[in-house]
Each structure stands twice: as C-alpha cells, then as structure tokens.
Structure 1
Amino acid sequence: MKNFLIPTTLEPDTINAVKSAINQAKNTNCEIILMMISDTPDTFSSAQFLHEMRTALTASQEEVLETCHYMIEHTANCKLKIHNQFGISASVFKGIINAFDIKLVVLTHSYKEENKRIHQYLVRLTGNQKCPILHLGTEVNKEDFNKALYIENAGTNIDVKDVQQFLSANFSFEIVSQTVNFDDDYERFAPYLSEAVLKYEIDLLVETRKIEKIKFKKVKTHSINEKSGLPVLSIYEELV
C-alpha cells in the first residue's frame, strides 16, 4: 500500500495534489492523508482550549474538501483521511510519517507560500524526513508526470543510474536528461532549461537532498521549483 501525506490549508491546488497522489498510486491500494495543522491554543482554561480548537472551515475550503471526497469516492483503490494536528515538532512529525507509513509527501505551491510560522516550520521539517517529497509546480492542471530531468548536486557521488533505479522501483518517472545544479545562477541557465524541457518534453525535475539545520531567514529564498514553475521530486540521498 502506498500512503501519501498532503499538508494543506484547503486551497484549490489541494485538489491537484490529491489527483497527483491518485496517479502515483497506479491502481494499488493507497490512503491519502490531508493534514491540517494549527498552533496549540495558549490558555490554561480547558473550556477555552477546546473552544479555540474548533476551527470552522470557510465556504471555499468546504468546497475543496467536498471535491477531494468526491474524487476518492470514485477511485476504488484509494481512501481519504483527514488529520488535524495541533502543534508540531521534529519528533512528532517523524512519528506521523511512521504511524501513517508515508511513502510520499506532496507539497503544493500555496502551502509553501503560507505566512504562518507553523506552516513554514512544517515545510522545513518535511525536508529533513527520509521519504521523498513531490513539490508541485504552478501549473494546476498537471498532475501526472513521465519524463524527468535529473539535477546533480555538487559534491555528491550519486550516479544517475542509481537515481533511475530508485525511481523505477517506486515511481513511473524516466530520466531523459541530466544537468549540474544551477540554482545559484538560475537566470543564466534558465534558457538552457527551457530548451531541454521543450526538446525532451520534460515535465518533472528530480533532485537529491541532505538533512539541513532549520533556519528562518528574513529574506525568503526561492527554490528551483518556485523559479521554474516545474514540479520537483526531492529524494533523500541515503535512499538512493
């Protein structure tokens, strides 16, 4: 069984994330977990604590959730679970990943743009988990991917054949081209990326990652996923 975790605030691109998870399941049994996270209420009163934990959904959020339920009801091999989480830490999040046996975390563009610190913290915690992460692109109608460009990080000894072997065992993506990491000089390499995307019909970027110390920077840096608008599959190096 493949289980997918989608952190969400129920923005419309959550629907696309659920579609992507359904496609990645490839007709095998799966459970898609929509996780909505909130700060723990700061109060000594039990009644006030319970009152603040009741967070009503807006009309647009209800519509997104209903659409997700509808899709799952019409997909025989998938189930949908809603997980409300109050407060988060590295150990708690690792426990969630293990408890639900998550095989892929799907991050939407809207979720990564959330301003609340708890959402930003969760995005950073996700990067330090060992399971793969699919960063969805800004093209909301694209949820299935086939041809990938592998971006090789400097200082790694991971061969593209090893990455493809991991992809073949867990996904249906095929690496059709590769390049060195050009994140620090994106503007200069952007035309070459566009050329490769058109030439090889690339619809996904693949990268590897290491665990990094979590830092909150005053000036937000943009990843290649955000700069290019293309989806990125990020794989923990030790898995390859």
Structure 2
Amino acid sequence: MGLAIAPALACGTISTRFPIESAAPPSSPTNTPLPTSTPIVIPTPAPSDAGGLGGSTGPEEQGIERTQRSQVPLVVGERARVIARDGVRLRSGASLEAAEVAQLPASSLVLVVDGPFVADGIYWWRVEVVGNSHSGFVAEGWQDAVYLEVAGHEQALVDRAPRAGDTVEVVIQNLRLRQGPNVSATLITTLALGTRMTVQQGPQAADGYQWYEVRTEVGNLTGWAVVAADNVITYKVVE
C-alpha cells in the first residue's frame, strides 16, 4: 500500500488543508478587541508677534507674493516720505483687509524695511515710522496716484536762523501749527517729523518764543510755528 501512495503524493493529487509541518489545523483566531488609545491633543501654536505688528504674520505666510517690480524706486534700508495729500493708512499686513495700525499724515517719514510685495493689485512696503514705535505695511500708490517718494539725502539740515524764502524741515514729532504767533492762537494742525515748509516771514517774539510764519510743501497749509521750545530746535533750514 505504501508503494501505491508514493506516486500520488509526488504528483500532488492528494492535498491537505493545513501545512504538513502542523500536527493539527490551526485554531480560529480570537477577535480580541484593540485597546482604546488616549487621544493626543496637539496644542495650537500662539501667533507670533511678527516684528511688533500686533500678532500678524509676514506676507509670505499669508500667501502674498514678493516681487522685484515696483512703480516707486524705494530702497530697503532708506527713508521714504508720504506725499499723499490725505495721508496713507499703515496696516498690520500687506492687504486691504489687514487691520489699520495708524493713519500717517502727509510728509510723514518712514524707514523702508522690506518689500515690495504685491496683493490686491497694489505694491506694499513694510516700514517703520520715523520718530515713533509704529510699524506695518503701506501701499505705495493706487492706479495713477503715488503715495510715497524717496526721501532724498542730497540736502543737509543746518543750524542757523531761518529767513523768508528758506525751506525748513521739522525735526520733532507733532509740531503745532497755529493761526497766529502766540500759544493762544487756534491750532491748525500738528506737523509730523520730516515735514517740509517754506518760511513766509518772521521772526516774531511772543510768549517767550520766536515764531515764523510757514507754509507746508504738501497741502499748502499756512500758519505760525515756534522755531525752538525748551531749548529744543523744532525745525532746521534745508541747504
């Protein structure tokens, strides 16, 4: 009988339902429930301060495109001047939807720190306002209107008494421009650091100060301003 079975095994006509090395069929697997894992909570990172911009992210993080093209030849590391008659908005990001940080009046000086970026069809620059702690993004213009210009360094500020016809530049923040040469005269506006004016006449002495009548280059506002207060020069002659 053993001789008859051997050829059949060699040809594979007889098969088994389990491996030949097993003494018995394997037992059915037991459905053991998997242990329940404890959920892992991933903390949400707090927004970064992004350079003092009130928690806003940088333009690249917002998906805003950096570009090499621009209408105004501003230079990172150099100053620019606001020339828009009504001033320009300083925003927390390079977008029209970004929160407004401050309103920069005409003639404000800013230091360009990054850019340009393009968003909403507008070129944006990241700036720091000269003379205070504000920083953010400003649009350089819209369509044919230009809001910023390069603040030139070809002229120097000199310490001498102004004369009629001189161009002078404000060297403090918030210089008061009044309707008359005295501290009781109606306040017209306050002038930002870097505002340029043309001297009309003066000086006139009143209230312990020397006053000059001046006209601003941007906006053509005319009024009186003291040339020094508490031993601090308020504006200097541009030569």
State TM-score, norm by structure 1.
0.22
The one of the two structures with greater contact order (alpha-carbon pairs below 8 A, sep at least 6) is 1
Which structure would you say has the larger Rg? 2
State TM-score, norm by structure 2.
0.22
